[in-house]
Structure 1
């Protein structure tokens, strides 16, 4: 796999609807599934479960089973996940600073293309 392929794969993953919110929620510390579900409302449990599975598979999130009655599952960021949150926060700051200009230019281009 080329560097470009890997970059595209990562950009696709971080661009998914719930990824940034989920990683941001976990940046404050370890959370249980139900806590994440509340923090990310209105995400559906199935979507949250699938997103957590992908992020765990990619190495951004660690799943930990707590020996309790009933058993608990907690999620936390890995170092890779913490690094990604830092990068995503930088992108969010850039979007906040430049978003109005980007939207304005996109709207202008759209008007110019419309007959």
Structure 2
């Protein structure tokens, strides 16, 4: 059984608590990969692409711990493990889709702002 860090359970800000967990580099990509249905570990590796096995394993464990992902182990030889979204995970797809659409719409503006900022910093230090 996974021991819960009591600080996480007692955390006062639910927004920070949730965003800290799903806002990391990989969680959204794993959730997006699972929106098409149940997948095995290697299928997720191929779909996500540049994630390491260790990082995918850690991300899946955190998403399972938080109730977004269901891990099913089949008693076969060799063992087969499948991952799927839970009802909670599926309920997150709509707001996640809005975030993805927003990021896609505004990405070029953000990149331009970063370049402009870098130019100002470079001029200031010259």
Using the size of structure 2 for normalisation, the TM-score is 0.78
Further displaced range: 8-17 or 96-105 = 96-105
Higher Cα radius of gyration: 2
Distance 1:70 1:109 in 2: 54
Alignment of 1:3-14 (within 5 A): 5-14=13-22
Instruction: For structure 1, list consecutive stretches of 5 or more residues without a partner in the other structure.
Output: none
Match of 1:42 among 30, 36, 50: 50
Question: Are residue 16 (structure 1) and residue 24 (structure 2) matched?
Answer: yes
- SS in structure 2 opposite 1:65? strand
- SS in structure 2 opposite 1:62? strand
Shift of 1:77: 0.3
Segments ≥4 residues shifted beyond 6 Å: none
Higher relative contact order (CA 8 A, sep 6+): 1
Distance 1:96 1:11 in 2: 19
Alignment of 1:1-115 (within 5 A): 1-2=11-12, 5-114=13-122, 115=124
